[in-house]
Structures are given as structure tokens and as C-alpha cells.
A and B are shown apart, each in its own frame.
Chain A
Amino acid sequence: MPVTVTIPTALRQYAGGHASITLPAGSAGQILATLREQYPQLGKQLYNDQGALRSFVNVYVGDEDIRHLQGVETPVADGETVSIIPAIAGGVLDGAR
């Protein structure tokens, strides 16, 4: 069972209109890199020119911000969900803390 990546509404236009995309398991960074290869325009929104994830991009594995886990090294197992959460509303899922 692969990993599900959910895409926020604002970015779906760069992801073929998809609300979610299934990708093979791996680290959060590997999964996002695969996403970036498949959808380069989406990658431009999420990564800076140096190839690092932009500082305000919020990535969750399940209900937890990867910043509180192992960052882009966070392992994501089959069946888990990676969510890219909009930066503007504050970046903390209700009840996640």
C-alpha cells in the first residue's frame, strides 16, 4: 500500500488538479523529491533556488509536523499520509499540540 500525499487547494493547479497523489514509501524528503520530479511547477512553489524546502512550507506526516519529527529524514511507511498544509492560517493543526 503506497503513501498518500494530500495537496492543498491553492497548489492543485500545479499537480494536474489532483487533491491527493499516491507515491512509494520512503523518507518525507524522498517523497517530496519524487513529487517535485513529477510536477516541476509544484516544486517551484515548495523549494528555493538552493534546492531546500522553503522555510514556511508545512509538511505533516499523519498529524505531526515533520519539524517536530526528523525533518525531511522522517520515515513514512506504507499507508501513511503526507500533507502539505497552507502556510497562512498559522501552520498548527487543531489538536496537534
Chain B
Amino acid sequence: MVRLWFVASTMTRSIASESPDRRATIVDLIGNTPLLRLARIAPDLPQGVTIYAKAEWYNPGGSVKDRPALWMIRDGERRGLLRPGMRIADATSGNTGIAYATLGAALGYPVTLALPANASPERRRILRSLGADLVLTEPLEGMDAAIRKIRELVAARPQLYFYPDQYNNPANPRAHEESTGPEIWAQTGGRVTHFVAALGTSGTFTGVGRFLRAQNPDVRLVAVQPDGPYHALEGVKHMASTALVPGIYDPRLADATLEITSEEAFAMARRLARAEGLMVGVSAAANVAAAVRVAREMRQGMVVTILCDGAAKYLSDRFWEDGDGRDGEGI
């Protein structure tokens, strides 16, 4: 049933993309991503336990962040905070920046981004190629310095900038409450029993969690965290130690929180590539590592998680070459 839906949705995508009347711009391609069954990474699971994952790199900007970026931009337009001639400005070294730059180009808004100076050269090239202006900040200070910098810029010329502030903007979780959550519910035929997602801004977890809970109060929501504040899980926050807890974060929503080490995520990224043919990013791999851990504790049910992005931006990372080829089998 679910597989049939996936095949059908893929066909719909290709048919729709051939029509010049529909899906005319990349904005129309955001969302409706495939839901993939991950059957080979954990062949030891009981027969009634399955793991599915949303392939978010199918979004035009290449990640799940297209959804909140679009919702925040549209919300800003509706409320008159973003008008023609203004710039979109935010602090992000990662996928949200690429989403702003992609949508900014498509919708005609210039984009200014603050990011730590040690963001990878590939990433800076992607952002600059999309026309974004980059303000590089002190690497030792991490994202905190980038956030302070962009706030200074916006405060100095508030009429020029629209500052979506993804950590505190309710349109961020709403994107997932109105798109990702309903898609998961439809694609699983309402059979999802567990949702597993890492907390970054917490937008995905909060929005999808709220929607699924509203459909079925028994759905279990499992949050994923790094094992400490110094980690390699791009886009994921260690809520217990961060100085800047997102305003949209709802600590009461999660039934459980799992800690995944960066090493576990690296091993799962390699394993997903070799066992499933899926090249995904580090936070996606952390989500799958956590989903497998959850699934191993179950007798029956369907675990759904998020593959936040593909591996393209991480190919220069060293971890692909580590490991012994049996990675992640014991995770």
C-alpha cells in the first residue's frame, strides 16, 4: 500500500514536471518528497517493525529547510514584513542559508547571510553562486557570533532587512505541521507509530510532532540530540548546554530523547551508502541511527524519520573513508 503510494507519487511528480502549466517554478517543487523504506540497514528487526524515511533532498534547495524557508518568507510577505526591494538576512552556515538563497533568487529578494569563517569552501561557493552576500564571523564563536552579527546589521537598518529568525519564528514549525506531517500521515496510511527527529531549531520535530499527535495521541515522538555541545551533527543542537535555546522549542513534546554520538552518525552514513545506496548527510544519518535504536525495542509498528539532506555538501569530510565496511551493523 505504502509502496504503491510511493510509486504513484513518483509518477505524478514526473508527469507534473512535464506540464508547463503546473510546477512552473522551483517554489512549486517544495514538499511532497518520497517516503523510502529502509529495509536493508537493520535486517534483524521483527517482521512487524518497519523504518521509513522522508527523502528531503528531493526539495529544490536540496534539503528539508526549503519548507520552513518558504513558509517564513510567505508569512513575512503576508504580514508586510517582507516587501519588494528588501533583503532577506539571517545567520546560517547550512541548509537554511541555501534555502533562503535559492528561494531569494527565484522570488527576487537579495539575501545576506552571516556564517562562521570556517564554513566549508563548497558551502560558501554554493551560497555565492546563488547570489547571496556573505558576512564571515569568528570561527571560535560558532553560530552565536553569526547570530549577533546579523542582529546588529538588521538593527542598524530595519527598513532594509527581513530577518526570518528561524529559531524563534512560529512559521518554521508551522511549515512542518502543514506539509511534512500531513505527508507522513498520508504516505503511511495513518499507520506511523513512532516519529524520530533531531532537534536543531526544533521546527521539524515540533511541527510534525504536533500534527501526528493531533491525528493519533498514541504516536510516540522521539527527539535526537548529540552527546555534547562539541559534535559534528550539522544543524543539530545540544539543548541542555546551548546558550541560545530556540523560542519555538517545546520541551514537553518529546516522549523520549536519544543521544547519538558523531561517530555513530558517521558509521550510519557509510552504512546507508553501502547497504541502501543512499548518500545522505550527517544529521540524516543520526536520525536513522536513532530510528534503528527505537525500532530494535519494538515488536510491532512503523518508525518514520527524516533524511534532512543528501551527501553532496559533505563529500570532502574525512569520515567517508574511515570504518571497516561493517559500519553501523551493531548500532
Q: Which residues of A approach B to under 8 Å, CB–CB?
A: 6-11, 13, 19, 44-46, 48, 54-57, 83, 85-94, 97
**List of B residues within 8 angstroms of A54 by Cβ:** 262-263
CB contact between B118 and one of A6, A10, A91 (< 8 Å): that residue: A91
CB distance from A45 to the nearest CB of B (A): 5
B142 touches A10 (CB 8 A): yes
Q: Which residue of A lies closest to B238 (CB)?
A: A10
Provided the pairs A9-B243, A45-B230 are in contact, do residues A55 and B318 lie with their beta carbons within 8 angstroms?
yes
Give the secondary structure class of A's interface: loop
Q: How far is the CA of A80 from the CA of B115 in the complex (A)?
A: 27
A85 touches B262 (CB 8 A): no
A85 touches B118 (CB 8 A): yes
CB contact between B234 and one of A19, A46, A88, A97 (< 8 Å): that residue: A88
**List of A residues within 8 angstroms of B142 by Cβ:** 8-10, 86, 88-89
Q: How many residues on chain B are close to A (CB under 8 Å)? A: 34
CB contact between A90 and one of B120, B266, B319 (< 8 Å): that residue: B120
Provided the pairs A8-B140, A55-B318 are in contact, do residues A87 and B230 lie with their beta carbons within 8 angstroms?
yes
CB distance from B134 to the nearest CB of A (A): 10
Q: Which of B117, B230, B232, B234: most chain A CB closer than 10 A?
A: B230
What are 25 A-B residue pairs whose CB atoms fall within 8 Å in the complex? A6-B140, A8-B142, A8-B230, A9-B141, A9-B142, A9-B243, A13-B229, A45-B230, A46-B230, A48-B263, A54-B262, A56-B231, A56-B319, A86-B116, A86-B118, A86-B140, A86-B142, A87-B231, A89-B139, A89-B143, A90-B119, A90-B123, A92-B118, A93-B139, A94-B136
**List of B residues within 8 angstroms of A6 by Cβ:** 140
**List of A residues within 8 angstroms of B118 by Cβ:** 85-86, 89-94
B182 CB–A CB distance under 8 Å? no
Q: How far is the CA of A73 from the CA of B242 in the complex (A)?
A: 32
Q: CB-CB contacts of B224-260 with A at 8 A, as 1s and 0s? A: 0000111111100010011100000000000000000
**List of B residues within 8 angstroms of A83 by Cβ:** 140
Q: CB-CB contacts of B129-145 with A at 8 A, as 1s and 0s? A: 00000001001111111
A85 touches B140 (CB 8 A): yes
Q: How far is the CA of A97 from the CA of B122 in the complex (A)?
A: 13
**List of B residues within 8 angstroms of A94 by Cβ:** 117-118, 136, 139
A56 touches B229 (CB 8 A): no
Q: How far is the CA of A7 from the CA of B144 in the complex (A)?
A: 14
Provided the pairs A9-B144, A45-B230, A86-B140 are in contact, do residues A56 and B241 lie with their beta carbons within 8 angstroms?
no
The 10 closest A-B pairs by CB, nearest first: A90-B120, A94-B117, A10-B229, A56-B232, A89-B116, A87-B232, A45-B230, A89-B118, A86-B142, A89-B119
**List of B residues within 8 angstroms of A55 by Cβ:** 263, 266, 318-319, 322
CB distance from A36 to the nearest CB of B (A): 13
Q: How far is the CA of A83 from the CA of B266 in the complex (A)?
A: 24
Interface residues of B in 76-130 (CB under 8 A from A): 93, 115-121, 123
B230 touches A86 (CB 8 A): yes
Q: Which of B118, B141, B233, B243: most chain A CB closer than 10 A?
A: B118
B139 touches A85 (CB 8 A): yes
CB distance from A66 to the nearest CB of B (A): 13
B117 touches A88 (CB 8 A): no
CB contact between A45 and one of B141, B228, B243 (< 8 Å): that residue: B228
CB distance from B264 to the nearest CB of A (A): 12
